[in-house]
Amino acid sequence: MVGSFDLAHLVDDEVRGAVGLDLSTRLAFIEAERDYAFPYAQHLHEQLERLLRAGQGRTRPPCRRIVARSGMGKSFILQQFERRHPRVISKRKGTQWPVLLVEVPPRPTPDALVHAILSKLGAPIPSKKRVALQYHALNLLRDAGICLLIFDELNRIRHLNDDIAGETCELMRWYSSVLGVPGVVSGGPAYVHIFQGDEQLGDRYLPIEIPTFVVDEIFLRVVSTVLAHIPMREPPDEEIFTEEGASLILKAGGVTTAKVVHFLKDQAMRCLEEHREKMMLRDLKVPL
Amino acid sequence: MTVLPIIIAPKSGESLTSWLDRSRHYYGMNDIWSFVRAAPVSYGGKWVGDIDVKCPSELFKCLAAAFSIQKGELEALRTSLKYRLDPGLRKAVCLQCWAADMLEGRAFYRRDLWSFPLALVCEHHMMPLVDCPSLPRSEAEFMTLYQPCLDRQAASELALRNHRDTCEILRVTMVPRGGEVCPEHLRYLEEFASILHWELRDATRPIGTALRLRLYDFKRRGEFHWRDFFGDPYWEGGKAPLYRHGTVRLGRVPGVGYRRQLIFATLDALKAIKHQDHHYLGLIGRRAEKEFVRLLRLAPPSVVQDLMLVAETF
């Protein structure tokens, strides 16, 4: 309780505590990045955990390709997963680095990919020829005890011609196969045709698709979750959680997580600036 | 700062260059300097000729951060490495130590004790040190390069026994009469050899190599003992000095300190640098004397007392 307001509509004490803060702090609180633990994110975490448990030394390690439009929170989820499994460096036991998340470079040729791996590992990059460098990175990955190899932003592969793009994807599969560890690739739909056009890659990397939002129960839960993280004294208008409200949000905000969250935050901040503590459906404005 | 993904920890008694060489090899870099210049070590300081002897503290800081090792642990490497040969002469190794490394699954590495100017034998195996310029990177390489040497040593039992006997003599004669092996004496001699090496750095043959090879040569023939270092070129009674490769005795000679006598005796004994006869009376000494006095001031009183004791005993 803050004053005479019942704050049961807010998700936790941290958000409830923020209600009593001054306006600028509340606005900053709203703008901050946070984990909403959406159901699809939890599902993806479970899938990744299962892959991680598969461990090293597999003859045919299970691999997945995550496909979703930009703004669905893939990178956020993967980074969060990586943070949950940090590396441990010990002089006696050696390095244990369970999850390696590599963001592929803007032009992900095989050479650039190897450089990205070495850079992510924090190793110096020697001047070696291509094959020697690939094996060098392989040895480092093996010694680091990698159990799950993730490549993010693979949609950047669209800047390459199909042959080079195929080589890059093949290199990812090679690392996964030789190390015997599961591999995950992630990105927008732009890279899917490479995997669909290659039988080996397509069979090995099974798809996990995250669809964009439509007006349904899942989307309403997403809206409800986001609003529960916004410190307003009064609960949002019930009209927002109707089919009409959902349609308006999708139309005004967008169909991806980032856009929906951004739209709702924007509206909330506008309400607070106008000294309103309750978000109403009729007040939601479609941006120009 | 980023930490290296795999930590190559320094081994017990390993020299700094050996450790960095192993690390740079693991990370595929061409040389130590390109390794320390590159991320994540990212040392931006000035170039140093011999990092074993005068490694900048900034480099220690960078290495400690990149290897996630305590800075003090690294600096301990430096403090134990004051008197050493030039980097180019640090090639002496004990093959038995490397064989033990191989059997116990350790990486091959150079011990700092092998790089002292008067280090002739391995303290653990009592085997003569041999020159091996390259550090083997794998067991296969070691077997290919150095197994023949080990086989030769093992095949010649007599030679092996002679080696061991010589080494035993070396150890025994290091001991002042009735005393025990004193590491401080060894260190003291190392200091002298280091000074000699520095003074004669312009000689045509590297003095470090000359010292080691000639000493070993004499020792193998049974013609050299540590006590040969100690003698008096101004033998009382006007007798001819007992030169058997420079067997002289230190004495209380006015104007000629023990240190200079020792240097003279050493140079005579070795006959390795005769062409510098006209130099060492005049040039050796002044700078070395200052260095020696500085070292002596730094040394604990017990070392100074031991020095006098040794000089008088022999």
DSSP string covering B139-169, please? HHHHHHHHHHHHHHHHH-HHHHHHHHHHHHH
Q: Which residues of A touch B29 (CB under 8 A)?
A: 124, 126
Partner A contacted by B41 (CB < 8 A) = yes
* Residue bearing the bigger pLDDT, A100 or B137: A100
Q: Judge: A124–B27 Cβ closer than 8 Å, yes or no.
A: yes
Instruction: Give me the percent of chain B exceeding a pLDDT of 90.
Output: 8
Q: Which residues of A touch B40 (CB under 8 A)?
A: 122-124
Most confident of A173-182, B126-135, B142-151: A173-182
> CA-based angle B267:B273:B279, to the nearest 5?
85
Give the number of C-alpha atoms closer than 13 A to the C-alpha of residue A24, restricted to the C-beta side: 0
State the nearest Cα–Cα gap between A62 and chain B, in angstroms.
Answer: 25
> What's B116's DSSP letter?
S
Nearest by CB to residue A123, choosing from B5, B30, B68, is B5
Residue B265 has a pLDDT of 47
The label of the residue with tokens 């459906």 reads A281
User: CA-CA distances (angstroms) from residue A208 to A171, A219, A244, A256?
Assistant: 21, 19, 30, 17
Instruction: Give me the percent of chain B exceeding a pLDDT of 70.
Output: 40
Q: Which residues of B touch A143 (CB under 8 A)?
A: 5-6
- Residues of B numbered 126-145 whose beta carbons fall under 8 angstroms of chain A's beta carbons: which are they? none
Q: Which of A71-85, B156-170, B176-190 has the lowest mean pLDDT?
A: B176-190
Q: Respond yes or no on whether ipTM tops 0.95.
A: no
Element (H, E) at A148: strand A148-152
Closest CA to B200 of B291, B285, B257, B83: B285
Q: Does the structure show a pLDDT above 70 at B298?
A: no
For the stretch B250-296, pLDDT in tens is 333 333 444 444 544 444 444 333 333 333 333 334 444 454 445 44
Helix (H, G, I), strand (E, B) or coil at A127: coil
Q: Judge: B27–A121 Cβ closer than 8 Å, yes or no.
A: no
Neighbours of A185 (CB within 10 A): 26
In chain A, the residue whose alpha carbon lies closest to the alpha carbon of B37 is: A124
Nearest by CB to residue B5, choosing from A121, A128, A133, is A121
Most confident of A118-122, B44-48, B150-154: A118-122
Average pLDDT over residues B19-26: 91
- Mean pLDDT, rounded, of chain B: 61
For the stretch B64-123, pLDDT in tens is 899 888 877 787 776 555 555 556 667 778 888 998 898 888 889 988 877 765 555 677
Q: Judge: A126–B5 Cβ closer than 8 Å, yes or no.
A: no
Judge whether A133 and A126 are in contact, CB under 8 Å: yes
In chain B, the residue whose alpha carbon lies closest to the alpha carbon of A90 is: B7
Residue A25 has a pLDDT of 92
What is the pTM for the complete model shown? 0.71
Q: Judge: A124–B38 Cβ closer than 8 Å, yes or no.
A: yes
Distance CA B269, CA B211 (A): 10
Average pLDDT over residues B147-158: 68
State the nearest Cα–Cα gap between A20 and chain B, in angstroms.
Answer: 39
Judge whether A182 and A149 are in contact, CB under 8 Å: yes
Judge whether B41 and B52 are in contact, CB under 8 Å: no
Nearest by CB to residue B9, choosing from A91, A125, A133, is A91
Q: Which of A24-33, A125-134, B127-136, B207-216 has the lowest mean pLDDT?
A: B207-216
Tens place of pLDDT for every residue, chain A, 288 residues? 555 667 888 888 889 988 888 999 999 999 998 888 888 899 999 999 999 998 777 888 999 999 999 999 999 999 999 999 998 877 667 788 999 999 999 999 999 999 999 999 999 999 888 899 999 999 999 999 999 999 999 999 998 998 999 999 999 999 999 999 999 999 999 999 999 888 889 999 999 999 999 999 989 999 999 999 999 998 998 888 999 899 999 988 889 999 999 999 999 999 999 888 888 888 777 665
> CA-based angle A214:A215:A218, to the nearest 5?
85
Closest CA to A205 of A60, A54, A71, A77: A60
Judge whether A78 and A65 are in contact, CB under 8 Å: no
State the nearest Cα–Cα gap between B217 and chain A, in angstroms.
Answer: 42
Q: Which of A271-285, B209-223, B297-311 has the lowest mean pLDDT?
A: B297-311
| Residue ranges of chain A whose CB lies within 8 Å of a chain B CB | 87, 89, 91, 94-95, 97, 121-128, 132-133, 136, 140, 143-144
In a mutagenesis test of the A interface, which of B1, B6, B106 is the best target, namely the one with the most A β-carbons within 10 Å?
Answer: B6
Average pLDDT over residues B140-167: 67
Judge whether A106 and A115 are in contact, CB under 8 Å: no
Partner A contacted by B12 (CB < 8 A) = no
State the nearest Cα–Cα gap between A93 and chain B, in angstroms.
Answer: 10
